[in-house]
Structure 1
Amino acid sequence: MPDIDYGALAQAFRSLLPEEAIVTDPLRTFAYGTDASFYRLNPRIVVIAESEEQVRGVLALCRAQKAPVTFRAAGTSLSGQAVTDSVLVSLGEGFRSFGFEPEGAIARLGPSLIGGDANRLLSPFGRKIGPDPASIATAKIGGIAANNASGMCCGTGQNSYYTLASMRVVLADGAVLDTADPQSVAAFRAGHAALLDGLATIARDAREDAATAERIRHKFRLKNTTGYAINALVDFEDPVDILTHLMIGSEGTLGFLSRIDYQTVPDYRDKASAFIVFADLPSACRAVSALKRTPVEAVELLDRAALESVKSKSGMPIEVDGLGPGAAALLVEARGPDQAALKERIALAQAAIDPATTLNGVRFSHDPVECSRYWDIRKGTFPAVGGKRPPGTTVIIEDVAFPVERLAEATADLQALLHAHGYDKAIIFGHALEGNLHFVFAQGFEDQSEISRYAVFMEALSELVVGKYDGSLKAEHGTGRNMAPFVEREWGMRATRLMRRIKALLDPDSLLNPGVLLNDDPTIHLKNLKPMPKVSALVDSCIECGFCEPQCPSHGLTFSPRQRIVSGRELARLACDDPTSAQATEMKQTFAYAADETCAGCSLCSTVCPLEINTGDFIRSLRAEQAGPLAKKIGGGIGDHFAATLGATRLALAGADIAHKVLGTSAMQAAARVAHEKFSAPLWTPAFPRGIWPKPVSSGWEGEPVLFFESCASRAMGAPRGDDSENLREVATRVFSRAGYRLVTPEGQDELCCGQPFASKGLAETAERKVKELVQKLARHGRKIPVVFDTSPCAARAKSFSGDDYAPLDLVEFLTLHVAPKLDLRPIEGPVALHITCSVRKMGLADILLGLAQKCAQQVIAPADVKCCGFAGDKGFVTPELNDHALRHLRTSLPLECMEGYSTSRTCEIGLASHSGRRYRSILHLLDQATA
């Protein structure tokens, strides 16, 4: 490989892409270059590509420099196929396209669209894509197709290979082929006749070699992602079809998939699940063989160690401690187009298993809550190992496939193999219907003895899977770097030679993701192993899977939670190895903005993290460490004189409103932008609130008392100029009285605060003091009357500090449980927007809030693309780019006729109004209208 001038290459990229799309600084390339595997390579350049033309331009420049290129979608791959030490092309939102043919029979999907989002968009048609990897809520279409990912239900018949309708692909030479467009196909046949002839020759050679052809057909009877999808050589004769199907599972080594068109599959709503426990593994595996002949959707196997790892999970239908050492369980799901069909399929499944061979019978539950608990148990196995692993180790999760008829024997052999190599705490689970087993164990790579142990184990594993059972070394996770040295061992020399001919034909310079899938280095799987230095007990268990990323409001602007943890680990390593280097200093400066300043601290990452890691807490802990004596003193002073602080805030808001009145909107915005950029003043927008002062409000009703606590934002921030909305307390008084409640407020409310503003800035001592002061004050009343918080972030924090004295209620809870049932609701006409705040989601009240809104309005739109709004207390004022980025899809997600929006946080409503062009108010205003 010639020397590559990456500085010149980065400069050349600037002629194609905006500056912000080209990343070369050491911390961001390190963070952006991380994937879910246990390999670490640091890209020299990261390019954020938004269009096919940009990808083609990057490829052309890289060809000129002979610079290797790796494509990255979500980075959830587990085998090292999405890391590089050269140029990483990360897919931006420009590739997040979605289209469909009538009734959703074919879905045309961009490679940057998340698989779960594709299914959500197909849901109205009762359809979904076939692949269903466990990472589908994070994994993107490009990665799903490039790895031929499957999952619990799709088996082999519904994976990307078998449900591919057409494809748009960019080859290494920049040529584009769109097989859905006859003109594109004709032009490609004319311009790339030699390439197609070469593929036809390879396919003919494969078919004419009877032993090789039979070997290919035999190997793909199982799930198999080891090497290329050379079943295309025997399944198709047209070289265009061969080419597109070779792209599936090629891991970015043959071309760039710029659109994938799937034949969708039915998404049956009627389903039921059974969690069946057996005394021994052979009995469970015999049941699998019997179920294979029935129309069940999925059968998941859990060995005894897997059951032990999740024995405390809610919904476990049997006492695990009482099971013998060889016990196992099956989680079975049946689905049907209607209840009658489902009932028939359940009957067939039940008839296939003798209940006498089980410990708890064969009972299918139709209860969605109970079924969800069963699947949570299954999904909890991987995190259970990851969360309990020793510090500094990583998690290895591998997947193999055995013939189903030999599953019991193979599982026992795999258990014995793991124990023989010291992996005593390993667990085994998997998609039993396909003979596909996953095994998970903790592995350290800090010393050579551990690396050697892993190397010996991998050799023994390949001998077991291939030598004894002729199974698949990689069933669904892709070959990557980890299995690249073993491809020939599984396939043999002749089939592997076909793969090498394919690679040489389509990528003659070997610039596309070199080293992945095929590799001449027999020890490549033992190199570039990812260190896992300790950084904080709050995040040390992170396995860098990336499941958190779609929830994060700063992902794509700066860092995601995974990238915050990754960069924190690297800084911790540098602090030990080379703390005063120029690189370490530069990285710290980048971290301050990318990881800290732009973190909303919303903690939505914890709601989807398999280990429930709260990266917001991690960043707040760093802020606490960095808070100096002066900051703590100022924070303490504000806490001690909170009423005065509120008064000053009201005056500042009133002053801004006067300036707005005098200058007009355009001039005010221009002046505010200058003040923000030059002096870091809070950024004013037309949605900026006016200051309001407390005034007594008479309820006019002698009803049951309710203690109503207003957040500091609600107390100080009124509606913006031009909006005549009443203050929240006035609306609450009126609505509560209609339901027979009398609103009261705590004495000295202006001095009270839940502490959230202080906690978010790392001023933990003041934050805790203020919330305890609040709890003590409210508890005096709360023993006798309901205590209701008007704002969800305050309610969530108060709940976390509440004891036995009182149970604070979020406004959503109180309105739903106590107010709305006593009122005559008449839903208002026209669509309304609903924003579900982070706090509502974390408190588990999202569905309750949505249900309340749906009782008050005929149409409620809660945009799926909008999660945390990124306003984050005051960050919408001081770091407005975070709010801008988080709400970039809001305006286009709402129909033009939708002019009103509702939420449960005053500051969130400011940002929402600013970015949508609509008025956003408290959900209480909506209930007021529906009960007027």
Structure 2
Amino acid sequence: MSLPADFLAATRHLIPAERLFDDPLSTLAFGTDASFYRLIPQLVVRVESETEVIALLRLANSHQVPVTFRAAGTSLSGQAISDSVLIVLGDHWNGREIRHGGAQIRLQPGVIGAAANAVLAPLGRKIGPDPASINAAKIGGIVANNSSGMCCGTAQNSYHTLAGLRLVLADGSLLDTEDPASVAAFRRSHAPLLAQLDELARQTRANSELASRIRHKYRLKNTTGLSLNALVDFTDPLDILSHLMVGSEGTLGFISAVTYDTVPEHPHKASALLVFPDVESCCRAVPLLKQQPVSAVELLDRRSLRSVESMPGMPEWVGTLSAGACALLIETRASGAELLSEQIERIMASVAQFPREKQVDFSTDPKVYNQLWKIRKDTFPAVGAVRATGTTVIIEDVTFPVEVLAEGVNRLLALFDKHGYAEAIIFGHALEGNLHFVFTQGFDSETEKGRYEAFMQDVAQLVAVEFAGALKAEHGTGRNMAPFVELEWGREAYQLMWAIKRLLDPQGILNPDVVLSDDPQIHLKNLKSLPAANAIVDKCIECGFCEPVCPSNGLTLTPRQRIVIWRDIQARKCAGIDTRELEAAFQHQGIDSCAATGLCAQRCPVGINTGDLVRELRAGQARHPGRADWLAGHFATTLKGARLSLMLAGMAQRLLGAPRLLKLSRSARRWSGERLPQWTPAMPQALRWVEPPPVRATDKPKVVYLPACISRVMGPAAGSDEPVSLFDKTCALLEKAGFEVIFPAGLDELCCGQPFASKGYLEQGERKREELLAALLAASEQGRYPIYCDTSPCTLRLVQGMPDARLNLYDPVRFIREHLLERLAFEPIDTPVAVHVTCSTQHLGEAEALLAVARRCSTQVVVPEGIHCCGFAGDKGFSLPALNDHALRSLKSAVQHCELGVSTSRTCEIGLSSHSGIDYRGLVYLVDRVTRPIA
């Protein structure tokens, strides 16, 4: 059914056009979440204020238009999609307020869970919920789903750590439970509603059988249905209302802010892995461990261990375990090292009577600790990586009472065999009896849909009826368990949930068919297909973990959305449907505006680099190979042309002044149809380049210095108070440390090939890369000397897939930490320094090392929150400045108290300087400033 014209007109009057999306590409992009369902919204609204939400809900209520709220879209059960109006959070929902020295924190719904923990970390605190998606999931979704996690259990979930809530009901009314004036006004305006809630709670408590059932259900980890425990845990209707909102999945109202009671984040931790010979002995150990000071106990069945045994970094013994083996990964945390040792002794003593097939003792060594947790964390992606193209990965989470956990595991394994899910694995949070099972499923035939339906019916009967467990432990009911809520809870409790829904949302406009549905087949409708599109991205499960680090997120498309659109384009082509309109829109939204730095791969559970897809698509569109050949073959001339362009820009700046030139550049770019590059006041001056002469041989240690082509072209910006170029500063620092500096022969003809590859000219890019590697091999005397590259993106380009093991290439961070720390004395300055960790530095694994070096140089190191990729992306800061603008829109406020910034990419520093108001320079400038040679 189409949206009412009056509703649309009123919405367009309320929300600026740039935050309303109804075009086919945008609605398709937002029509997916991390679940295996897809609904295409008719309208997507990006809201930036509570006032807008209130007005929209009043309009929706008046016109009976269904709406769905969406935060990060990492929901696994289909609760963040809509075929009506989808309301998504914009930038201005990121407020946070620490209270009582960290004992509480007030958060708006757009704050990412990990960001909340980052601001609490210096105080030794964290929020209670710790879902696996915490690096992407936002607080609004964490509360609305009552998400938990590995250490959270039930005691520290949102329901039990809730200190206050600010919410908007379906009628647009506002309540802040921490504001006495708001509370008093709400009690007056909604007295009948509160009275009815009070009566429902009184009747529930008086019904001893029902009250007992509710208490039993929430003794377990449980998110099936609405939070009926609010009716028995509280007597004040406002407390009942606020706790009903937790886990309501957007079906009862909008959560505008939440205040958490935080929990301790102990600094000392250790982990062990105990492998038992069978499921029974493994599960019998769990109740004993539950009585011990453990923070997490993760169960892994033999199938899950088998799924990761051949992955890089896995211990060899994983592949030698017996067929029936079952493991427990145990973590314990403490405030001090001595207490930690005592806890380890107690834990091991508690399970001493159980036989073990293999054991990795408790360790505080990060290498051992991280390897153990890698086994656990890689299980889910391992299933995703082996799934057949066209199938999806489904992860369900159920709860068995701990006392029957062994039987529950074995019965689930039997169901896998019965229904032919040979690849299915089981892992989970054993302390709570919470098991995740992961399997692959196709929905491209009625036979496959029937198999899935029969399997889910059996699972529901097993968990909810036979074992009186929970069909949803922490992922929310969503659509896929909505038909089974009554089966699990019984008719009386189920009707109570409907009574609450109709009381708070009488028009039924809030997220219909989620949690509660009249349609017994809703879990089998609107199933998402994942057709083959490109081998690079076919393993994508559309989880959305990549989105927070993408610079175009909120401007055009995210990596997940790029894959969604490209899949749809390929599916339509296969079906003979005209895709020209969609492809035209995708050109800018998906291809041109992608930074292609691959930071998404760092967050992707299956390691997908969406930038690789974009580069491949650009290669297919490359129309000037002859020009690229000429530029590659005459690279010194190309660099001379670049220096000339910078020289002319510098002359224009001196003649017109920066403000006038900036205005003129913007106008010229607009008149050219966005084809001319954008000038910026941070634009470097042309470097007066002279090919360095051969050095005289000495007995000093030698280093081959590869100045990137941009370091040979770009000098400092005109407004910089640092007159020395990166090239000269690097030479000076290396010489200060006692090195003899060697340069490759024919330096100005050399390039790593990145400028060509990023434009789709892969052949020319690879030719330049091979040419440079050969020159470096000769200059280093077949790898005898280390090679220092002054720009991290070029270093990354050279080391990726480098076949010659003789070459030892260093980016600035690695060279400084391995060769200069021991040769230079550091005298740190007490000056705030902003550090930008480039995408390439992260890919090189040097992010923490960069911060460590910066902290050797300054006592005040600032890493701006939420700045992952700067979006400059080589030259996109000139050719598509909107991407750089968007990626760094919050930078200035984050670094306004800093005096300078450091990075390891000259082009990134242009954008960073432009948007921060401070001068960003290479790391070597800071190191040179604070060091002297060790005598």
Per the alignment, residue 665 of structure 1 pairs with: 658
Would you say the 8 A contact 2:308–2:379 is kept in 1?
Answer: yes
Q: Which amino acid aligns with 2:786?
A: P
Question: Could you say what secondary structure the match of 2:363 adopts?
Answer: coil
Per the alignment, residue 824 of structure 1 pairs with: 825
Task: Please say if 1:603 is aligned against 2:594.
Answer: no
Question: Could you say what secondary structure the match of 1:715 adopts?
Answer: coil
Aligned residue runs from structure 1 range 470-489, under 5 A: 470-489=468-487
Question: Could you say what secondary structure the match of 1:804 adopts?
Answer: coil
Per the alignment, residue 585 of structure 2 pairs with: 590
Per the alignment, residue 437 of structure 1 pairs with: 435
Question: Could you say what secondary structure the match of 2:14 adopts?
Answer: coil
Q: Compute the displacement of 1:18 (Å).
A: 1.7
The whole-number CA distance in structure 1 between the counterparts of 2:211 and 2:485 is 17
Runs (4+) of structure 1 exceeding 6 A deviation are 698-701
Q: Which amino acid aligns with 2:348?
A: Q
Q: Which amino acid aligns with 2:714?
A: M
Per the alignment, residue 631 of structure 2 pairs with: 638
Aligned residue runs from structure 1 range 803-882, under 5 A: 803-882=804-883
Would you say the 8 A contact 1:701–1:737 is kept in 2?
Answer: no
The whole-number CA distance in structure 2 between the counterparts of 1:25 and 1:578 is 21
Q: Compute the displacement of 1:578 (Å).
A: 4.2
Per the alignment, residue 711 of structure 1 pairs with: 708
The whole-number CA distance in structure 1 between the counterparts of 2:316 and 2:551 is 40
Would you say the 8 A contact 1:247–1:255 is kept in 2?
Answer: yes
The whole-number CA distance in structure 1 between the counterparts of 2:455 and 2:21 is 38
Would you say the 8 A contact 1:771–1:798 is kept in 2?
Answer: yes
1:812/1:317 CA distance change after superposition, 3 Å: closer
Q: Compute the displacement of 1:11 (Å).
A: 3.5
The whole-number CA distance in structure 1 between the counterparts of 2:403 and 2:21 is 51
Would you say the 8 A contact 1:553–1:886 is kept in 2?
Answer: yes
1:314/1:344 CA distance change after superposition, 3 Å: farther
The whole-number CA distance in structure 1 between the counterparts of 2:492 and 2:554 is 44
Question: Could you say what secondary structure the match of 1:606 adopts?
Answer: helix
The whole-number CA distance in structure 1 between the counterparts of 2:411 and 2:540 is 30
Per the alignment, residue 291 of structure 1 pairs with: 289
**Alpha-carbon deviations, 1:526-574, whole Å to 9, x = none?**
0000011111000000000000011111111111110110111111112
Q: Compute the displacement of 1:344 (Å).
A: 2.2
1:68/1:607 CA distance change after superposition, 3 Å: same
Per the alignment, residue 789 of structure 1 pairs with: 789
Per the alignment, residue 914 of structure 1 pairs with: 914
The whole-number CA distance in structure 2 between the counterparts of 1:128 and 1:800 is 37
The whole-number CA distance in structure 1 between the counterparts of 2:354 and 2:165 is 50
1:115/1:925 CA distance change after superposition, 3 Å: same
**Structure 2, unaligned stretches of length 5 or more?**
none
Question: Could you say what secondary structure the match of 1:833 adopts?
Answer: strand
- 600-609 or 801-810: which moved more? 801-810
Aligned residue runs from structure 1 range 279-678, under 5 A: 279-313=277-311, 316=314, 319-354=317-352, 357-361=355-359, 363-580=361-578, 584-628=579-623, 631-678=624-671
Q: Compute the displacement of 1:152 (Å).
A: 0.5
**Alpha-carbon deviations, 1:900-922, whole Å to 9, x = none?**
11111110010011001111111
- 543-552 or 777-786: which moved more? 777-786
The whole-number CA distance in structure 2 between the counterparts of 1:815 and 1:279 is 49
The whole-number CA distance in structure 1 between the counterparts of 2:777 and 2:410 is 58
Q: Compute the displacement of 1:819 (Å).
A: 2.1
- The number of equivalent residue pairs is 924
Q: Which amino acid aligns with 1:682?
A: P
**Alpha-carbon deviations, 1:635-670, whole Å to 9, x = none?**
122111111111111111110110111111121111
1:779/1:701 CA distance change after superposition, 3 Å: closer
- 799-808 or 21-30: which moved more? 799-808
Aligned residue runs from structure 1 range 90-129, under 5 A: 90-129=88-127
1:284/1:924 CA distance change after superposition, 3 Å: same
The whole-number CA distance in structure 2 between the counterparts of 1:774 and 1:579 is 46
Q: Compute the displacement of 1:890 (Å).
A: 1.1
Q: Which amino acid aligns with 1:478?
A: G
Per the alignment, residue 198 of structure 2 pairs with: 200
The whole-number CA distance in structure 2 between the counterparts of 1:486 and 1:900 is 58
Would you say the 8 A contact 1:708–1:744 is kept in 2?
Answer: yes
Q: Which amino acid aligns with 2:716?
A: A
Q: Compute the displacement of 1:442 (Å).
A: 0.4
The whole-number CA distance in structure 2 between the counterparts of 1:195 and 1:482 is 30
**Structure 2 residue aligned with 1:695, among 690, 710, 721?**
690
Q: Which amino acid aligns with 2:913?
A: A
1:317/1:711 CA distance change after superposition, 3 Å: closer
Q: Compute the displacement of 1:678 (Å).
A: 1.7
The whole-number CA distance in structure 1 between the counterparts of 2:853 and 2:484 is 57
Question: Could you say what secondary structure the match of 2:716 adopts?
Answer: coil
- 652-661 or 731-740: which moved more? 731-740
Q: Which amino acid aligns with 2:564?
A: V
- 467-476 or 854-863: which moved more? 854-863
Would you say the 8 A contact 2:3–2:42 is kept in 1?
Answer: no
Per the alignment, residue 229 of structure 1 pairs with: 227
Aligned residue runs from structure 1 range 211-222, under 5 A: 211-222=209-220
**Structure 1 residue aligned with 2:68, among 59, 67, 70?**
70
Would you say the 8 A contact 2:691–2:747 is kept in 1?
Answer: no
Q: Which amino acid aligns with 1:785?
A: Y
**Alpha-carbon deviations, 1:558-608, whole Å to 9, x = none?**
11110110111111112122432xxx3322122111111110011011011
The whole-number CA distance in structure 2 between the counterparts of 1:532 and 1:501 is 38
Per the alignment, residue 800 of structure 1 pairs with: 800
Would you say the 8 A contact 2:744–2:778 is kept in 1?
Answer: no
- 853-862 or 47-56: which moved more? 853-862
Q: Compute the displacement of 1:4 (Å).
A: 3.9
Would you say the 8 A contact 1:870–1:883 is kept in 2?
Answer: yes
Question: Could you say what secondary structure the match of 2:211 adopts?
Answer: helix
Q: Compute the displacement of 1:926 (Å).
A: 1.0
1:763/1:579 CA distance change after superposition, 3 Å: farther
The whole-number CA distance in structure 2 between the counterparts of 1:118 and 1:685 is 34
Aligned residue runs from structure 1 range 245-260, under 5 A: 245-260=243-258
The whole-number CA distance in structure 2 between the counterparts of 1:279 and 1:314 is 25
Q: Compute the displacement of 1:318 (Å).
A: 6.2
The whole-number CA distance in structure 2 between the counterparts of 1:534 and 1:10 is 36
- 483-492 or 719-728: which moved more? 719-728
Question: Could you say what secondary structure the match of 1:872 adopts?
Answer: coil
Cα RMSD, aligned residues only: 1.4
Would you say the 8 A contact 1:771–1:801 is kept in 2?
Answer: no
The whole-number CA distance in structure 2 between the counterparts of 1:776 and 1:915 is 39
Would you say the 8 A contact 1:796–1:843 is kept in 2?
Answer: yes
- 451-460 or 858-867: which moved more? 858-867
- The TM-score, its normalising length taken from structure 2, stands at 0.97
Would you say the 8 A contact 1:868–1:886 is kept in 2?
Answer: yes
Would you say the 8 A contact 1:828–1:929 is kept in 2?
Answer: no
Q: Which amino acid aligns with 1:515?
A: D
- 856-865 or 387-396: which moved more? 856-865
Q: Compute the displacement of 1:242 (Å).
A: 0.5
1:578/1:9 CA distance change after superposition, 3 Å: farther
The whole-number CA distance in structure 2 between the counterparts of 1:801 and 1:366 is 34
**Alpha-carbon deviations, 1:879-917, whole Å to 9, x = none?**
001101111111111142x22111111100100110011
The whole-number CA distance in structure 1 between the counterparts of 2:689 and 2:119 is 46
Q: Compute the displacement of 1:693 (Å).
A: 2.8
Aligned residue runs from structure 1 range 80-95, under 5 A: 80-95=78-93
Q: Report % sequence identity.
A: 52
Would you say the 8 A contact 2:285–2:354 is kept in 1?
Answer: no
Q: Compute the displacement of 1:832 (Å).
A: 1.4
- 714-723 or 386-395: which moved more? 714-723
Question: Could you say what secondary structure the match of 2:596 adopts?
Answer: coil
- The TM-score, its normalising length taken from structure 1, stands at 0.97
Would you say the 8 A contact 1:355–1:362 is kept in 2?
Answer: no
The whole-number CA distance in structure 1 between the counterparts of 2:726 and 2:231 is 68
